[in-house]
Structure 1
């Protein structure tokens, strides 16, 4: 324990190039959350609510309606604009590290980001926030979306239980392929809209031996006839350097339907 504390003091003093270690932690963290960035390509929104809900539905019926809703949303959403605030936390970071961006999306594949404000360590800005935005832009194609969307094509989805508090069906999700942007975990499907409203899990691929455990939670909320992301949290427990956390807040949505 004393040795670890000594290492930490040296890192904080800068005598051993502490920023490099922090930057390394940032790289490990972005690899953990990159699967979530790509996942959002298929979950920008969900279509209008179902008019009625059968008293009971078989798991396959629920999944079929979810997949239909996804295709419907892709047809009906023409464009949207929103803001995101990225923030990273780690004991070695000190002051808050954040990035505020404006996102502009136009169907079917056009996406742009504009940086509005930033603060904190420049290395984290480059190695974590900027890289996450690059991943989204690099994988904005239809082919990339189909490779990661939540469907029976990409996941084995097994019914778990009904969440009364969230009014949602909960499914266990196990990836069918080795795509590094897939995840393993749970999916909440809204019982009336059949939209994905919550995802919890971990990346299917362990990106580094230094990452002992990684988890994420991604939440959606309804705006008018559509569902959009509202909050994301990723945590990575890194060997010797503790827990790193990334939080993303989504807000100020403006959208246009076809």
Structure 2
């Protein structure tokens, strides 16, 4: 599944998308869709509010990997602890299957998540006009809620960016779903990565819920990875 020093930066960067901005859902359901520029502006404002309000969280995470060519599986149960603005730690609670897969793949996913919190990398991965072109492609219902569907095109080849689609909640202006592929392959050996990530509302926050990815790597074949988050315990900054 993995090439040397490959750390899935775009998947790690997506874990940072947890904007906060509550608005009356009924009003959002009736209002006409704003322009893409306004949606992005309000999304950015919600991200800034998130940074100001979020003190930290703990979450139970399950990593699972299946490799087609070698018929091997790996699984790891981890408790993740995040402390704002940029500290994250991982405590492995249990693991099974291929120890090699667990170490090389899951371990490097965790390293990538740590790297994505560095200020420069947060700027490189942010949902901003500096990093992406946005086009409003319509509206859909996501988990029963109205959402704007935006097609996004990265402005440069960068492993922290991706090409694809995001869905922005019409009431909270939060990313609730993202899918696509990295703007730049993380290694020569990686032929393709496709992913889908969904977010779940936890109090006033939208936090990563589930990520599914399919990766094709030279000599390793196709691998399917799943990351599931559950039991969030969120702390807010003091009022």
In which range does the TM-score fall when normalised by the shorter chain? Answer: 0.7 to 0.9
- Contact 2:7–2:111, Cα closer than 8 Å, also in 1: no
Does residue 1:184 correspond to 2:163, yes or no? yes
Q: Which runs of 5+ in 1 are unaligned?
A: 1-24
Structure 2 gaps, min length 5 = none
Q: Find the residue that maps to 2:2 and give its secondary structure.
A: helix
Q: Does 1:73 align with 2:50?
A: yes
**Structure 1 length as normaliser, TM-score?**
0.82
- Specify the SS of the correspondent of 1:79: strand
- The alignment status of 1:50 with 2:23, answered yes or no, reads yes
Secondary structure, counterpart of 1:35 in structure 2:
helix
Aligned length: 231
* Residue pair 1:32, 1:236 contacting (<8 A) in 2 also: no
Q: Name the larger-Rg structure.
A: 1
2:181 is the counterpart of 1:202: yes
Shift of 1:178: 2.5
Could you give the per-residue CA deviations for residues 181-213 of structure 1, whole angstroms, max 9, x where no partner exists?
211100100011000000000011134565443
Cross-structure match for 1:38: 13
The partner residue of 1:117 within 58, 83, 94 is 94
Q: Secondary structure of 2:153's partner? A: strand
C-alpha change, 1:197 and 1:99, in structure 2 (3 Å) is: same
Secondary structure in structure 1 of the residue aligned to 2:47: helix
Q: Equivalents in 1 of 2:202, 2:218: separation in Å?
A: 40
Q: Does 1:248 align with 2:223?
A: no
Q: TM-score, normalised by structure 2?
A: 0.88
- Closer, same or farther in 2 for the Cα pair 1:105/1:239, shift >3 Å? closer
Contact 2:115–2:121, Cα closer than 8 Å, also in 1? no
Q: Whose strand proportion is higher, 1 or 2?
A: 2
Aligned to 1:26: 2
How far, CA to CA, are the matches of 1:122 and 1:164 in structure 2? 40
